[in-house]
């Protein structure tokens, strides 16, 4: 009876303490009660952390006078956790072990107590978790309603009867206009330029940019809208590779058009050199600016970056294509086997260059000796790989960047820093990864060649885009063994690994084929609203980066307990840039470099 009252009073005091804790989103409470007469420790490791050392979570003193000791800690709920209970003076083996995905705002209690000479751990939930995906569902339904309302309004507006009614209200009768209203009658195409342009490519670019703005603003705080800690893929990992792929496709289409207009190759070299210098200057000088350090301070400036990576990628690819591009791609159809693969055969020198670049990447990655690290290391260092290589973050890629740029001029907050407890700087836009960025842009260039060569047969374009997607998907499956961490070359955005570019190129070919069919072939959709930021991409990218910390793109969040305000803030920021690009489109203002 007395023991029962003690446990009840302890439980009530614990609940009062727990109720006083204010949890943020993606947080849960874990209370541990120690009924043993010896100290215990709780160790934890995230299942997303590959081969990581267990980290101390809490230590509890022995129970006293039949009253257990207890402690409460806050747990993160993004990934499944493995917890061990170890006793002081034991052999280090856990007396209890369990794996669990803790839910947002849930309250969990673990009681460690003796059980006939052994130890028993009881888990139970004192407060059920909330559904942290509900704000995402609400946001998705809201966007769906807005999109549906837009198309319904557009459809009604373009109806003949609506046009007649509007003209009567304005008292500007025009019989011819009443019988044949402005536009084609299709709600998806009337606002688009009349010249021949691959609208699906602009839409693809705009879609990628819109997602990039959303995830750069925080993605509502959801982990899958942020970059993967090391290996693996999230939504945030998709957008920049899509941009790189689109660069290649745009180079193929633009250079073909300029060569047909009689522009000399030397002019192309001057143009691409100027564009590269401007992109890199914006990336290094403009986006690196910090008012606290002054505009001329280079003490902390990051030399690699997104625009720098895009600029170098564009320069290498465009320079190569300048020398080997063909003004005319029509071959004699009597050579059937050549005609079937002419998008590859005609450009054989480019394939040799790309194969040589990928060989350089493979040799440097797997053969370059790195002091203190195993040759060919692809891990994050820190507590990963059983803590054997704490200072080897990124292997050869990290070593080359520190040697080339210096540790103060590369990214000091890599995505692996929190989960893997790393201490070394590592830049995801570093020098070695740029080689594979060029290779991925070359796959985009290949897509552009297919569109140009088989432009008279959309069916062949779709088939070839799909075939490339399947082939690259098979290569990715082999390289990764269809796993996140156990493959020959895991998918890794930080390293821009070979499997990463084959996987993302697979997605890119598939998505471009889908948009090409829906927008350019069937003309079911005009690409709105994504086509607008797609035609002003550099302005939207630079603008959203510079104004990210200012209202209305950012404000002081009042409610940190859920994702609602965060996802509303980030969606609003992305929507504002889409609207701004729409207004610029209506004014026919397009910022070009």
What is the set of active-site residues? 227
**How far is Cα 406 from Cα 100, in angstroms, rounded to an integer?**
41
DSSP-assigned letters across all residues of 417-485: HHHH---S---TT-HHHHHHHHHHHHHHHHHHHHHHHTTT-HHHHHHHHHHHHHHHHHHHHHHHTTSSS
Positive/negative CA dihedral, 34, 38, 39, 44: negative
Phi, psi of 332 (to 5 degrees): -65, 115
User: Treating both helix axes as pointing N-terminal to C-terminal, what angle do 236-260 and 498-515 enclose, rounded to 10 degrees?
Assistant: 60
- What percent helix, strand, coil does the chain show, rounded to 5? 50, 10, 40
Burial class of 18 by CB neighbour count within 10 A (0 to 12, 13 to 18, 19+)? middle
Phi, psi of 139 (to 5 degrees): -65, -40
Task: Return the residue matching tokens 């109720």.
Answer: 19
Is residue 106 a contact partner of residue 129, using CB atoms and an 8 Å limit? yes
Task: Return the residue matching tokens 């993004």.
Answer: 78
**Kind of pairing between the strands at 118-127 and 107-115:** antiparallel
H helical segments located in 282-341? 306-324, 336-340
DSSP β-bridge partners for residue 298: none
Longest dimension (CA), the chain: 98
- How many angstroms separate the Cα of 157 from the Cα of each of 143, 152, 523? 21, 8, 19
DSSP-assigned letters across all residues of 481-518: TTSSSSSSS--BTTTT-HHHHHHHHHHHHHHHHHHIII
Burial class of 2 by CB neighbour count within 10 A (0 to 12, 13 to 18, 19+)? exposed
DSSP-assigned letters across all residues of 516-527: IIIIIIS-----
- How many angstroms separate the Cα of 32 from the Cα of each of 56, 83, 276, 422, 547? 14, 12, 58, 29, 45
- Which among 343, 323, 311, 322 has a CA at the least distance from the CA of 243? 311
């Amino acid at each position: 009876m007395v023991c029962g009252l003690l446990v009840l009073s302890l439980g009530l005091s614990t609940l009062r303490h727990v109720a006083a804790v204010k949890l943020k989103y993606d947080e849960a409470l874990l209370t541990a009660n120690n009924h043993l007469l010896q100290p215990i420790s709780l160790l934890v490791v995230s299942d997303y952390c590959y081969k990581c050392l267990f980290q101390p979570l809490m230590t509890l003193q022995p129970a006293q006078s039949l009253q257990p000791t207890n402690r409460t800690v806050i747990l993160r709920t993004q990934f499944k956790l493995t917890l061990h209970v170890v006793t002081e003076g034991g052999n280090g083996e856990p007396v209890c072990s369990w794996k669990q995905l803790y839910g947002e705002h849930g309250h969990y209690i673990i009681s460690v107590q003796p059980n006939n000479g052994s130890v028993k751990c009881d888990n139970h939930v004192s407060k059920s978790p909330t559904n942290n995906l509900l704000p995402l569902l609400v946001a998705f339904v809201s966007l769906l309603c807005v999109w549906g309302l837009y198309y319904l309004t557009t459809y009604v507006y373009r109806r003949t009867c609506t046009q007649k009614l509007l003209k009567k209200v304005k008292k500007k009768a025009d019989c011819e206009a009443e019988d044949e209203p402005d536009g084609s009658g299709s709600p998806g195409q009337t606002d688009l330029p009349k010249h021949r342009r691959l609208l699906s490519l602009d839409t693809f670019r705009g879609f990628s940019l819109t997602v990039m703005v959303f995830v750069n603003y925080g993605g509502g705080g959801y982990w899958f809208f942020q970059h993967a800690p090391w290996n693996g893929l999230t939504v945030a990992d998709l957008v920049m590779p899509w941009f790189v792929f689109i660069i290649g496709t745009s180079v193929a289409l633009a250079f073909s058009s300029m060569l047909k207009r009689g522009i000399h190759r030397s002019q192309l070299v001057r143009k691409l050199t100027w564009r590269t210098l401007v992109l890199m200057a914006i990336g290094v000088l403009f986006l690196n600016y910090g008012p606290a350090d002054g505009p001329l301070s280079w003490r902390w400036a990051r030399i690699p970056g997104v625009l720098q990576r895009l600029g170098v990628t564009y320069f290498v690819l465009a320079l190569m294509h300048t020398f080997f591009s063909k003004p005319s791609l029509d071959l004699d159809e009597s050579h059937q086997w050549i005609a079937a693969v002419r998008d590859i055969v005609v450009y054989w020198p480019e394939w040799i260059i790309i194969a040589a670049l990928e060989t350089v990447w493979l040799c440097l990655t797997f053969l370059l000796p790195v002091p203190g690290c195993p040759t060919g290391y692809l891990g994050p260092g820190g507590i990963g790989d059983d803590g054997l290589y704490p200072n080897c973050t990124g292997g050869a890629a990290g070593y080359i960047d520190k040697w080339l740029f210096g540790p103060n001029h590369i990214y000091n907050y890599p995505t692996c820093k929190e989960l893997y407890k790393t201490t070394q700087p590592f830049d995801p836009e570093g020098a070695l990864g740029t080689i594979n960025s060029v290779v991925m842009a070359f796959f985009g260039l290949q897509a552009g060649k297919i569109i140009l060569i088989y432009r008279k047969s959309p069916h062949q374009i779709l088939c070839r885009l799909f075939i490339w997607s399947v082939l690259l998907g098979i290569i990715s499956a082999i390289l990764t063994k269809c796993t996140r961490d156990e493959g020959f070359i895991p998918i890794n955005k930080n390293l821009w690994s070979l499997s990463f570019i084959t996987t993302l190129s697979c997605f890119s070919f598939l998505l471009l084929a889908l948009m090409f069919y829906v927008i350019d072939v069937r003309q079911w959709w005009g690409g709105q609203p994504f086509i607008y930021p797609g035609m002003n991409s550099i302005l939207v990218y630079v603008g959203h980066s510079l104004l990210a910390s200012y209202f209305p793109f950012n404000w002081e969040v009042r409610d940190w307990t859920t994702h609602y305000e965060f996802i509303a803030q980030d969606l609003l920021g992305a929507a504002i840039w889409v609207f701004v690009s729409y207004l610029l489109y209506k004014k026919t203002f397009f910022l070009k470099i």
